Every structure is written in structure tokens, then in C-alpha cells.
Structure 1
């Protein structure tokens, strides 16, 4: 369908022109998702250009790009309200209301008019959306069900109720995301209640379609409803628990499946879920086995990789009288110890078990070395000299664990080691050196931050800039603050080095931070 063209002199656009315009809409949508009022204003202008084409297919395609993001629709609605920058948005909204008042307004003009500051225009836009419902306009209609003007709100609510009742299979997937987005807003309860009733009324094919293709919030909402109604059978729950990408849905499905399995004595289901690759599923299944009196089956998970699973297994072992520490020691002493056995020994052992872990520091598997270092840290049996040799381990995981273990005893390390690491070619070693220099005084932290601020790695550079900015702002604070200003206690050579580092990092820091650092260093007098 084509609606009345506003400018009869405008020629029909080419297919390439339509594609280019939709591409501009995509770019504007992307920028408006995180941008401020200027980005939202550009999006409105691009949408109005689409509406000027008079092509329903192109207009609905452009509107779908916006309607698929409920948060953006809400931001656009707030953007249309009168604000201090109203001079930037008023002309665009006036154009939208003018076009909407035409003979045959298009979807874009109708959607934008539904967000107009004039309640009468919004009410007419709602009536137009209800009389000619497009799925792309459903989020805009749902938004108006929470309107602060009662006539607008009542008309939108009546239209939403009728549309959901007449064609829930089409309207529910389009209305559900926005209804859940407004859940915490005042006057939004009606929309949530309507979509809830629609979920309970639709066929199994429809709600399963939402569970398969909807967003995370919508899938969780529908899952809880159909689970409460008993529409999900045990095989369905097992499938969700094993394969669903959402951790919350996996846990809820596993809980429901295991509860049903305990009541019906379906031990095969509990044992199957206990072998799941997901730790949250294994925990629930093992708890079900304990309730079913199968403690012996649970004890077999003492060396599981997940801490909570090991805790559940230890609880079962305690009731059976199993010596857990001896079990873990035996597991660590074998040729290929599992990471779960190493972690379990660290959780239940003492410093007397440290030699068992120290011999694993040279193991060929990086995961074993990393777990051994973590275990020594948990047992409070860290020997700085032994772990310092591992700080340049080929595995980044081992480097992280060694750094965490050495931080409390960094004073016992060679003084030059952290600085050497900070200038190393490997990213994980530079990160380790920086972490080992934390807490050594403001002069050391500032020097390290200025070095890191110009690092080739963007994340490390960002960390260095943030810390340098924090130190500079602390030094520039007013005197009435309770926390005293940091004081530089450096020699003349160290002061000169800080000045040189600040000059080198000036391009990476913002202008205010650079000025604060320069003033602070200029006012600081180096000691002898």
C-alpha cells in the first residue's frame, strides 16, 4: 500500500537509494543506542527522510530497526518531551505531526506522532495504530499504555487488549519486549498483565517460538509462566537444563526437573544431569541425589572442578565417614592430578600439605601449575623465591595466579623485578608488574601509571590513564577534604624522571589531568 505523497514533484526512489537510506537508518540507530540527544535527533531526522519517500515497505523496514530495541524506543519517547534543548527537536517533531495530519500518514509519521508532546496528537496517533496495526508499531502502542494522560492511556490499553486477543501469535512477540521493559514504570502494570494473559492463552507453538527466538528477558518471563502452569514436561526441562545458553534458565529447568525426579524416584534423570557439563546443573542434580538417599553416588564428585559441587560432595562424604583430606592427597600424588583434587586439598588441607603442591609447580600442564599456585596461596604457604621463578611462565593463567600469590609479599621480591616486568614485551607480564607495584607509595604508583598510560595494549593504557588521573585529582583536591593530599617523597633523580614521564604521557592524558600533574610536580620539592 502507498499512502498519499506529500510532494508530487518527488520521483520514486531507486532500489539503490532505498538501500542507502536504510543503511543510514542502521547507522543512526547504532549511534543513538549509546549517544545523547544529538544522536537521537539525527535518528529522528533520518526516519523523517524515510517517511518522505512514501513507500510503506521501506518505512516499515526502517521502523523495525528501531522497534527491535525497546530501550531505544523509550529514549526516543523521552527525547520528544520538552527539554532545555527543545530548539533542536521541536522542528523535527512539528514535521512529524504535520505529516501525520495528512491524508494518509505512514508508519513512521504515526510512530513519531505517538511520542509528541501534545496529548491530543498522541491520542490520534494511538487511534491510527489500532485501526491499522503494524507489528513494527506495537512497541510504540505498548509505550502509550503507560501514558500520563488518561485518554491516551485508555485508548492505547483498549487497543492493545483487542489486538492481543484477536491475533496473539503475531502481536505477542512484538509487544512482549516493550511490556517487560516498562515493568518497573508507573502505570505499566496493565501491559504486563495483558502479555501475561496472552502467553497463557496462546498455543504451544507460539510460546515455544518465543522461548526459541525471543530475547533473554522475554524467554525468562515466558519460561516462568509456562513452568508455573505445568506446560513443560520433564524431557523439555532436561533439554533446557543441558543445552540452553541462559544460565538462569538452565538452573531453573534443572531445579524443576530434579524436583520432579525426586518425587517420582526417576534416579536416571538425576544421574544424567549430575554428568552435565554445567556446574549449576550438577549442583542441583547432586542435591537431588542426596535427597533420594544416594550419598555414595555424590561422593564420586569430590574432585569436581566446580567449588560448589565439591562442597556438596564433601557434605555427602561426611555422612558416610569418608576421609576427604586423605582422598584429596591421594588424588594429588598421582601422575596426572586433576585440578579439582588440587583445589579440594587447598580447601580442606593445611600448611603441612604444601609440599604436595610445591612439587607440582614444575608440572608440564599449565592448568596443574596454576592450580598448585592457587592452592599454596589458599594454604598461606607462599614462598616468594619459589613463585618468583614462575612469574615469567609461558601460560598467562599461571602468571595471573603467581601475581595474586605474590602481591601480599611483594616486599620480599627483588626491587627491580616489577619494573622489569612492566617493560616486558608480553602483555600479561606488564600487567603482573603493574599489579605488583600497587600499594608501594604514591611516587611508585604514579611512575608506574605514567609508564602504562602510553602502553601499546589499549586496556593496559586505559588502566594507566585512569590511575594517573585519580592520583592527579587527589593531589589537586581542596584542603578541607578529610583525606590528606598525597605527598611526593622522591629524590632529585626520581623527580626528574616523573617530570619526563608526565611530559611523555601528556598526549595520552586529558588536558586537565596534564595540567594538574604539571602543577603538582612543579610545587613538589625533591629531597636529597
Structure 2
């Protein structure tokens, strides 16, 4: 590949030289098929790609190309792929009969079912209707994502509708294989149909909910697992899931399973949604979560890390702010940051004490202190914030102080930003430039919203 050649141009060069599709393209990525089609149909391939060697696609004499495609010679896989993407509809239509039974080009056949030319669409649908039900799991794995992407197109629903019909009758092993597909829409469809057909055990659904990387798959799988009503198989997996929404579903189900007491440890979960569900479960069981939080925060030696924030989410300012201020000086950084976050939730307005927390050695504490101070940025003294952007301060404190200065706007912010975007610390310098969105810090006009990516 030359310096001026894109990876897609290099792939087309490879196809023009007869290389297999799987050798030049990441066939598992649906976007690659769409880009290949758009690139070839948009016009001539750049000079020097070797495309000229195949006159049946590049010469202006289209009748000659049609004779080659319609005659005895059977085009190779690469030639066929290029013909299916050709700008001339006659060539696309003439290529489709050759695509029958050629699994490697089935994604391009699916693409042609959304073609603007009716004869091409009709021919493509005939080929797809014949070959898709016969496709093996590997062919479906690369064709299904393309078919689903076409639904957004004007005439693109045909391939997806046919795919759904095929999968409803496909062997169970085919559907479960698609549950491992890299494409999220494909996994979602496979899960919908697997649930519809009752192909997955509750434990398998719970495993998907706990470990899949897509929120849509996780939520559907969790809902189906809980609907199966087998707590011993599903709840342990759901409660141990990395995703907060899945854990929250498991916590909610604890009450329905008569195990509300087991929700208590989740009062201190890292997810606010899980904590809220745990409080609900305890209330439904006749217990007061506020009392549980207060008891947990009463002993600094054993206080759970996120108990202060949980207390703030359901407590009362008059009773609980003193406890949170005390825990803001706790020896453990997680307890301190949780307490400061709780101060923000309860609306603590002692700006002097909050400002001092910007000097904490723990980045999490400084982050929460800056979030608590942000609504009051106009009332903070410039000199205190500028001082905290100095070279003697750690990077996490300097970036948060700059965030507050930007909220205020004006010359102090401009000077500090210009200094930090050229800071010797490469990590800080990159953070500041990324946060500002540009390397050119300018004063924010009065009344204009702050544009700052660090929260």
C-alpha cells in the first residue's frame, strides 16, 4: 500500500489481482462491505491500483463486459465481487446469476436487494432467498450484520426480513453461534429469536446478562432470565455482573424471591441505580435504609467505602451533613471521595471547606470537590484557583482548578490555560488540550456555556 492509498484502495487492488475477499477485507465488519460497494460505485479506482488489468470492469465498452459475465467463463470470487459493486446496473444484474451458490459474496447479494434498480433488486432477492436458508453458520455470521444494516435504507428491509424468517427455522446451534457474533445488532436479533424459541436455559440467559458487552443484550437477557423464575440459577450471576443495570435487576428480584435481607450489601454498591434498588428492597421488607446507612457510617474503622454517598442519597441535611464532613477527612480515599460526593448531594454550601478539599492527595476526592464547587464557581476567589494551577501542585488538582476557572471565564482562566497547554508534564498537557477541545484557549464570552470535556 502506498502512502496515498487507503486500506480500502489496497483491498480493491487485491481483488483486482484475484485475491480472495477474506484475504483483503475484514469480512466480519458490515461497514467494510458497505464501504467497498460505495467506493467502487462512486467512480474509477485511483491510478495505479491495478484495476485496469480487468478490462471487463474498467473499459467503456460495457457490452463486452456483459458478454464476459453472461457467457461461459465463470468469474472468480474477486471478479464477481467487483462486478456486484459496479456502477453500471446492467453489470450488477448480469453478475447476480453467477453469485448463486457462492457463499463468499452473499453479503454483496444482500446489498443488491436494496439496489435502486428494480431488476437488480429482484435478481438479488431470488439469489438470497435460495442461498440464505442453505448458508452455514460462518456465512450467516458475515451476512446477517450487512442485512440488518440495510434496514435503514429506502428499499433495504427485504434482506433483514428474509434473515429473520431463516433464523426462526434455523438449527438451534446456528442461533446460539450468532449470540457470539461481534456485531451488536446481530447478537440482539439472535437473542430475541432464541428467547422466542425457548432455546436458552435461565443460567445461560443470566450468563449473557452478566458478561455480554452490549447493554441491549444484557437487559434483554436479564429480563428473560428473571422471567424464567429460577432464582438459584440466575440470581448469583446477575448479582455478580459488571453492569449496574443487571445487578439492579438481580437486587430487585431478591425481594420477589423472598430474600430481601440479601440486598443490604448492595446499599454500598458503586452504581447509584443498584443502591436505589437495594433501598427499595429493604423498605419493602420493613427496614429503614437510612438507619442502616447511619449505623454503617458511625464507626470510621468499618465504614464501607460508598456508605457516605448512599446516606446522602436518602438522608437529611440537618442530621447527616456533620457525619459527612467528618468522613471527608477519613484516612481511606474512597470513603473521603464518597463523603464529598454526599456533601454535594445534600447541598453543602460551605465553600471555604470545600475549596480546601481541592488540595487532597487523592484524585477522586479532588474530582468530587470540584463537582461540588462547580455551581458556585462565580463566588470562588480567582487567586485561590490560579494558585492551585501552579507547577507545585499535582496534575489532578491543576486540571480541576482550571475547570473551575473556565466556568468563571475571564483573564485569569485565559492565562492559566495558556500556561497549562504548554506544561512540561506530557500527561497534564494532553489532558488540558483534550479538555479544552483545542490547543487555543480563549476567554469564554459572558453568558456563553462552558465547553469543557472533563466532568
**TM-score normalised by L of structure 2:** 0.83
The residue number in structure 1 matching 2:334 is 367
Q: 1:322 to 1:363 in 2, by over 3 A?
A: same
Once residues 283 and 197 of structure 1 are traced to their aligned partners in structure 2, the CA distance between those partners, rounded to angstroms, is: 34
**Contact residue 97 and residue 116 of structure 1 kept, 8 A:** no
Of residues 70, 75, 78 in structure 2, which corresponds to 1:108? Answer: 78
Tell me how large the CA RMSD over aligned residues is.
Answer: 3.2
State the secondary structure of the residue aligned to 1:405.
Answer: helix
Partner of 1:74: 34
2:388 aligns with 421
Residue of structure 2 equivalent to 1:491: none
Partner Cα separation in structure 1 for residue 108 and residue 442 of structure 2: 43
Does 1:440 find its partner at 2:440? Answer: no
Q: Counterpart in 2 of 1:496?
A: none
SS of alignment partner, residue 389 of structure 1: helix
Runs (5+) with no aligned partner, structure 2: 58-64, 449-455
Distance 1:351 1:207, change over 3 A: same
Return closer, same or farther for 1:333/1:118 CA change in 2, 3 Å cut-off: same
CA shift, 1:163, in A, is 1.2
Q: What is the aligned partner in structure 2 of residue 345 from structure 1?
A: 311
State the Cα distance separating 1:293 from its structure 2 match.
5.0
User: Is 1:231 matched with 2:195?
Assistant: no
Instruction: Classify 1:434/1:343 alpha carbon distance in 2 versus 1 (closer, same or farther; 3 Å).
Output: same
1:266-345 matches, within 5 Å, as 266-269=230-233, 271-273=235-237, 275-278=239-242, 279-298=244-263, 301-334=266-299, 335-345=301-311
Q: Name the SS for the 1:230 alignment partner.
A: coil
Structure 1 residue 98 corresponds to structure 2 residue 64: no
Q: Please identify runs of 4+ aligned residues in structure 1 that moved more than 6 A.
A: 90-94
Determine if the alignment matches structure 1 residue 200 to structure 2 residue 168: yes
1:389 matches 2:353: no
Residues 99, 105 of structure 1: 8 Å contact kept? no
How far, CA to CA, are the matches of 2:439 and 2:15 in structure 1? Answer: 49
In the alignment, the residues of structure 1 paired with residue 94 and residue 306 of structure 2 have an alpha-carbon distance, to the nearest angstrom, of 65
Tell me the residue number matched to 2:210. Answer: 242
In the TM superposition, residue 223 of structure 1 has moved relative to its aligned partner by 0.8
Q: Distance in 2 between matches of 1:471 and 1:388?
A: 23
Q: 1:97: Cα distance to partner? A: 6.6
2:451 matched residue in structure 1: none
CA deviation after TM superposition for structure 1 residue 435, in Å: 0.8
Matches of 2:85 and 2:294, distance apart in 1: 68
The equivalent residue for 1:258 is: 226
Q: Distance in 2 between matches of 1:191 and 1:470?
A: 51
Separation in 1 of the partners of 2:143 and 2:353?
Answer: 61
Q: By how many angstroms is 1:88 displaced?
A: 6.7
In the other structure, the counterpart of 1:50 is 14
Deviation for aligned residue 1:429: 2.1
1:376 matches 2:343: yes
Paired with 2:442 and 2:111, the residues of 1 have a C-alpha distance of 42
Counterpart of 1:153 in structure 2 is 121
Could you say what secondary structure the match of 2:396 adopts? helix
Distance in 2, matches of 1:77 and 1:231, equals 36
1:372-419: CA deviation from partner (whole Å, max 9, x where unpaired) = 111111111243333333323222111211111222334555532322
The SS at the match of 1:423 is: coil
Q: Which has the higher contact order (CA 8 A, sep 6+)?
A: 2
- SS of residue in 2 equivalent to 1:186: coil
What is the rounded CA distance, in whole Å, between the counterparts of 1:395 and 1:213 in structure 2? 41
1:59 aligns with 2:20: yes
Q: Distance in 2 between matches of 1:165 and 1:277?
A: 36
Unaligned runs of 5+ in 1: 1-23, 29-37, 476-482, 485-528
The answer to which of 425-434 and 325-334 deviates more is 425-434
Instruction: Report the alpha carbon displacement of residue 231 of structure 1 after superposing the two structures with TM.
Output: 1.2
Give the structure-1-normalised TM-score.
0.72
Residues 271, 348 of structure 1: alpha-carbon distance in 2 compared, 3 angstrom cutoff: same
Give 1:370 deviation, angstroms.
0.4
Residue 48 of structure 1 contacts residue 96 of structure 1 at CA under 8 Å; is this kept in 2?
Answer: no
Q: Is the 8 A contact 1:391 1:402 kept in 2?
A: yes
Q: Distance in 2 between matches of 1:453 and 1:343?
A: 34
Aligned counterpart in structure 1 of residue 158 of structure 2, from 180, 190, 200: 190
1:181 matched to which residue of 2? 149
How far off its partner does 1:282 sit?
A: 2.6
Distance 1:258 1:47, change over 3 A: closer
Instruction: Work out the CA distance in 2 between the residues paired with 1:441 and 1:215.
Output: 44
Q: Match for residue 358 of structure 1?
A: 325
* 2:328–2:339 CA contact under 8 A, matched in 1: yes
For 1:114 and 1:62, locate their aligned partners in 2 and report how far apart those are by CA, in whole Å.
Answer: 18
Aligned residues: 427
- Compute the displacement of 1:320 (Å): 4.2
Partner of 2:435: 463
Alpha-carbon distance between aligned partners in 2 of 1:376 and 1:407, rounded to the nearest angstrom: 13
